[in-house]
A and B are shown apart, each in its own frame.
Chain A
């Protein structure tokens, strides 16, 4: 599915879109650039989430933790270090942290993993708050304000291309095998632990980078803002909504839901959550594999997993 001629065309489309987006700020007002930045960030987060959780079916609800670490790194170091270094630092910290979390929790059955990650953001929030209270005595920080459209655009596209490449490689294959039937993968001799941790860490790395790059949009950050649970479940929702069966699912989900959200927030203020929730329910009921789910069924017979 991801090899051969069709794939090359994919790359060309991505490059084309990238070129268009590069010029976007020239003909769009600041608000629309901000909106586009936000959409791109969501695409990046959703695709990263999909790379691990979509393929292995280990639902991670901890995206906010990794995104938040990135945000926080920028908050702390954004004024003292040059921005690229801040990004590198954030990436390194998140990667190591994700490896650590992975070592502990990826031995758990899927749903335990989901629950554990769900509380991770809140846990980090508490730890950092305590640290700030007792050790450093600070109470939130002003972040450098800068235009983040290009960093986010760059990181998102690097994420997209990396995920595409990795999906064709050993890691992608291993992750998909784990998602289809982990026991079989183990029997085949696949080192599932190594691949799970690696996949999880890579996925989290991008989330951390996005967080670090997106942070200047906030202007002011404290640990509560950095670890906002919204970023925990939205990537999952966007991917599942768009369809977790294929790569373009999270992209479709992220684009549709972000635009929808923007429209709802400005038009139906009080009903935003209600409408969003209802749409989510309706889509899953009518299109259980997400919006792009039907596509898979058209050309290829989906392998039936034994119950």
Chain B
């Protein structure tokens, strides 16, 4: 089962894991941000990813766009959807909940309901038939004897860029600063005059946006779009949040790469069917040692 680790295999794993990890970290970024700031666990995250994938599909097939460019459509759409959902559903619960724990509890049910609604709406509107579009491919490159698909490399680079943008946003803008403050000390943040409810809304929308964005990327790689495709990605995002430590941006990236390496290594060297098992085993070990995740706030 386990083949010898030759230099080229090592390189393959080194870069392959990196690429996969970059993608994972983008998938989870939105969820991590939302939970970190608002303490609401968005189990419908994968469904926003699905919406992003469908929007990309329509942009490509109806408007003849390049999928990489479809962020122009997907971006504003996801933000609008996020605002709508937040205003209609979550704002009331946020203002009514007396404690963070209560909010966590109640919002969970809301997100499940939302997940059902989004999935079923997608099914009614677009049927459960698989959809796909012709994605641009650029073949593969040879790096020191190992081949990698250019598409994946591009997506990994975009993912890293997204992470950089996010980092800059959180670190240097007023809003970003306010968000980080809210993650650390919700009460303290309120005392210094930050309007938590606005911050909640913004974080939620950015989270939805990131979810949709990762949907674009996934749909480029993986062309079987259907209303229920988001479910496995929710799991990946959730596992990553636990691994990384809640609300930790660094953790999200590092955790993403750890996950990516684990998955790639398992598929390449051990046996693909054990991927999730290995991930969970490592997760358990990490949690035994650091119960709050890798990077604690």
Within the complex, the shortest CB–CB distance from A178 to chain B, in Å, comes to 12
Contacts of B283 on A, CB cut-off 8 Å? 116
Query: In the assembly, what is the distance between CA of A192 and CA of B231, in Å?
Result: 34
Q: Tell me whether A240 and B109 are in contact (CB under 8 A).
A: yes
A115–B120 touching, CB < 8 Å: no
Inside 8 A of B92's CB, which chain A residues have their CB?
285
A158 to chain B, nearest CB (A): 28
Q: Does B169 contact A (CB under 8 A)?
A: no
Q: Does B105 lie within 8 Å of A240, measured CB to CB? A: yes
Question: Which residues of A sit under 8 angstroms from B124, Cβ to Cβ?
Answer: 270-271, 274
B107 to chain A, nearest CB (A): 8
Tell me the smallest distance from the CB of A221 to a CB of chain B, in Å. 19
Whether a CB of chain A sits under 8 angstroms from the CB of B100 is yes
Among the stretches B17-25, B202-210, B271-279, the one at the interface with A is B271-279
The yes or no answer to B98 lying at the interface (CB within 8 A) is: yes
* Segment at the B interface, from A32-40, A105-113, A169-177: A105-113
- A129–B273 CB distance below 8 A: yes
What does DSSP make chain A's interface, helix, strand, loop or mixed? helix
**Chain A residues near B101 (CB, 8 Å)?**
57, 110, 305
Q: Judging by beta carbons under 8 Å apart, are A126 and B273 in contact?
A: yes
Whether the Cβ atoms of B112 and A237 lie closer than 8 Å is yes
A246 contacts B by Cβ under 8 Å: no
Min CB gap B109→A, angstroms: 4
Considering only CB atoms, which chain A residue lies closest to B121 in the complex?
A274
A-chain residues with CB within 8 Å of residue B189 when the two chains form the complex: none
Among the listed B98, B116, B238, B242, which residue makes an inter-chain contact with A276, where contact means beta carbons less than 8 Å apart? Answer: B116
CB of A154 closer than 8 Å to a CB of B: no
Among A112, A126, A233, A274, the residue within 8 A (CB) of B276 is A126
Alpha-carbon distance A230/B109, docked complex (angstroms): 14
Q: Please name all residues of chain B whose beta carbon is closer than 8 Å to the beta carbon of A122 when the two chains form the complex.
A: 235, 276
Beta-carbon contacts of A117-152 to B below 8 Å, as 1s and 0s? 011001100110110010000000000000000000
Residues in A whose Cβ lies below 8 Å from that of B187: 307
Contact B119 A273 (CB under 8 A): yes
Query: Min CB distance, B267 to chain A, in Å?
Result: 13
User: How far in angstroms is the closest Cβ of chain B from A179?
Assistant: 9
| Nearest CB of chain A from residue B160's CB, rounded to whole Å | 25
CB distance from B263 to the nearest CB of A (A): 13
Judging by beta carbons under 8 Å apart, are B100 and A281 in contact?
Answer: no
A272 interface residue (CB < 8 Å to B) = yes
Interface residues of B in 73-116 (CB under 8 A from A): 89, 92-93, 96-102, 104-106, 108-110, 112-116
Q: Is A304 an interface residue (CB 8 A)?
A: yes
Q: Determine if B96 and A111 form an interchain contact, defined as CB atoms under 8 angstroms apart.
A: no
Assembled-state Cα–Cα distance A272/B121 (Å): 11
Chain A residues with CB below 8 A from B280, complex form = 119, 123
Using an 8 Å CB-CB cutoff, how does the interface string of A253-294 with B read, 1 for contact, 0 for none? 000000000000000001111101111110011001000000
Query: Nearest Cβ in chain A — how far from B106, in angstroms?
Result: 6
Q: Is B284 among interface residues, defined by CB-CB distance under 8 A?
A: yes
B100, A307: Cβ atoms closer than 8 Å: yes
Contacts of B97 in A (CB 8 A): 288
Contacts of A288 in B (CB 8 A): 93, 96-97, 106
Q: Enumerate 25 A-B pairs (CB-CB under 8 Å) in ascending A order.
A: A59-B105, A107-B291, A108-B292, A109-B291, A112-B293, A115-B41, A115-B239, A116-B287, A119-B235, A119-B239, A123-B276, A126-B274, A233-B112, A236-B108, A240-B108, A273-B119, A273-B120, A277-B112, A280-B112, A284-B110, A288-B96, A288-B97, A305-B99, A305-B101, A307-B98
Please name 16 further chain A to chain B contacts, defined as beta carbons within 8 Å, in addition to the given A104-B287, A107-B287, A278-B113, sorted by A numbering: A57-B101, A59-B104, A59-B108, A105-B287, A107-B291, A115-B242, A116-B287, A126-B273, A233-B112, A270-B123, A281-B113, A284-B110, A288-B106, A304-B98, A305-B99, A306-B99
Contact surface of B with A, Cβ cutoff 8 Å:
35, 39, 41, 43, 89, 92-93, 96-102, 104-106, 108-110, 112-117, 119-121, 123-124, 187, 231, 235, 238-239, 241-242, 246, 271, 273-277, 280, 283-284, 287-288, 291-293
Closest 7 A-B residue pairs measured CB to CB? A277-B116, A280-B113, A273-B120, A277-B117, A274-B120, A281-B113, A277-B113
